[in-house]
């Protein structure tokens, strides 16, 4: 699986958009970009995934660059409950194993 | 409500005393797996199961056993626990096959301390 690079931490003001970057310069053509988050030792929670088109769901938006070497997760209106560690993963869609690295610790401040 | 449950949530035990952590899902998922999460090492897969009676090793299977006698349950067995198995354990399930939505669900976690 391609490796990903994320900033270790970031702060965000409540009500503002949070933009979380992820670099995956060695991504292969059949690998998707997945985002999960984990709120303080709870079970990881799926957020969104995409292959090359931008995606949006009720939780977030995913912007993938045209060369697919990087992506950005956007939380449009961050709330205090969005404080969590966010993980960017790249893997084929038929590989169900998840491997989390350090992720980005996002702290939403009032 | 769709969910994955694990029991116990917290467990303190001693070296060598066999224990079982149960995992159950109510979504009729075929795929289930176990992970452990350790500081600095991230999330690592222990075992997984593609269906009833079909199990396979993940990245860190040593010291663990699993069984899949029925679709909804996937217990994790530590025959002779050791202190290096002190960790936070997660069970997960999903329905195989490509889909528009990644429907992998995680349990709440089991925090294990082996003395």
- Render pLDDT for B50-68 as a digit per residue (tens, 0 to 9): 999 999 999 999 999 999 9
Taking the CA of residue A95 as centre, how many other CA atoms within 13 Å lie in the half-sphere pointing to its CB?
16
The pLDDT assigned to A68 comes to 96
pLDDT (average), residues A32-39: 93
pLDDT (average), residues B11-16: 97
Q: How confident is the model at residue B76 (pLDDT cuts 50, 70, 90)?
A: very high
**Does residue A64 carry a pLDDT above 70?**
yes
Q: Give the mean pLDDT of chain A.
A: 92
Q: Which among B43, B48, B102 is the nearest to A46, CB-wise?
A: B102
Contact A43 B90 (CB under 8 A): yes
**Does residue A95 carry a pLDDT above 80?**
no
The pLDDT assigned to B98 comes to 55
pLDDT (average), residues B72-78: 98
Contact B88 A41 (CB under 8 A): yes
Whether residue A18 has a cis bond before it, omega within 30° of 0: no
Distance CA(B114)–CA(A67), nearest Å, equals 47
Contact B104 A99 (CB under 8 A): no
Name every chain A residue with its beta carbon within 8 A of the beta carbon of B46. none
Percent of chain B exceeding pLDDT 90 equals: 81
Q: How confident is the model at residue B15 (pLDDT cuts 50, 70, 90)?
A: very high
Q: Which among B42, B106, B109 is the nearest to A101, CB-wise?
A: B42
């Amino acid at each position: 699986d391609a490796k990903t690079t994320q900033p270790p931490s970031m702060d965000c003001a409540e009500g503002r958009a949070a933009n979380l970057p992820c670099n995956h310069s060695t991504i292969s053509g059949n690998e998707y970009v997945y985002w999960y988050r984990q709120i303080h030792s709870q079970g990881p929670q799926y957020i969104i995934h995409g292959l090359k088109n931008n995606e949006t769901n009720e939780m977030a938006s995913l912007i993938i660059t045209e060369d697919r070497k990087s992506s950005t997760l956007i939380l449009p209106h961050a709330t205090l409950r969005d404080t969590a560690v966010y993980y960017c993963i790249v893997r084929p869609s038929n590989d169900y194993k998840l491997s989390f690295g350090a992720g980005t610790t996002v702290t939403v401040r009032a | 409500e769709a969910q994955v449950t694990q029991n116990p949530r917290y467990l303190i035990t001693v070296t060598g005393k066999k224990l079982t952590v149960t995992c159950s899902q109510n979504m009729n998922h075929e795929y289930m797996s176990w992970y452990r999460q350790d500081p600095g090492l991230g999330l690592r897969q222990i075992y997984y199961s593609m269906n009833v009676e079909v199990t396979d090793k993940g990245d860190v299977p040593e010291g663990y056993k699993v069984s899949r006698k029925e679709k909804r349950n996937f217990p994790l067995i530590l025959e002779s626990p050791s202190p290096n198995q002190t960790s936070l354990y997660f069970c997960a399930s999903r329905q195989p096959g490509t889909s528009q939505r990644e429907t992998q669900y995680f349990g709440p976690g089991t925090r294990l301390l082996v003395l």
